[in-house]
């Protein structure tokens, strides 16, 4: 099976140098995705919180908010 030329380190470094790709670690990648998406300031039980649209692209949140409350309040 022939390997494609886009899987080589040389190809990746050349694309980074040309500005076609980014070199970032996992933290930088997640931070970039969060900051590029919409952020909505909302009130939940009288407290200000932020709704990051990246984590709820559909109708429901990835993490159930009621379940998250059970674990956050011991």
Query: Under the phi-then-psi rule, with left for phi > 0, alpha for psi from -120 to 50, and beta for the rest, what region is 46?
Result: left
State the pTM of this model: 0.45
Spatial separation of the C-alpha atoms in residues 38 and 36, rounded to whole Å = 7
Average of per-residue pLDDT across 9-33: 87
Q: How many CA atoms lie within 13 A of 9 on its CB side?
A: 0
Q: Output the pLDDT for position 39.
A: 87
Let me know: does 38 contact 23? Beta carbons within 8 Å: no
Q: In a 3-state reduction of DSSP, which class is residue 49?
A: strand
Q: Is the pLDDT of residue 71 over 70?
A: no
Q: Is the pLDDT of residue 64 over 70?
A: no
């Amino acid at each position: 099976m022939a390997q494609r030329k886009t899987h080589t380190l040389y190809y990746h470094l050349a694309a980074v140098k040309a500005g076609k790709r980014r070199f970032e670690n996992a933290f930088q990648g997640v931070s970039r995705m969060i900051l590029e998406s919409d952020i909505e300031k909302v009130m939940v039980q009288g407290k200000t919180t932020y709704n990051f649209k990246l984590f709820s692209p559909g109708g429901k949140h990835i993490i159930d908010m009621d379940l998250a409350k059970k674990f956050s309040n011991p």
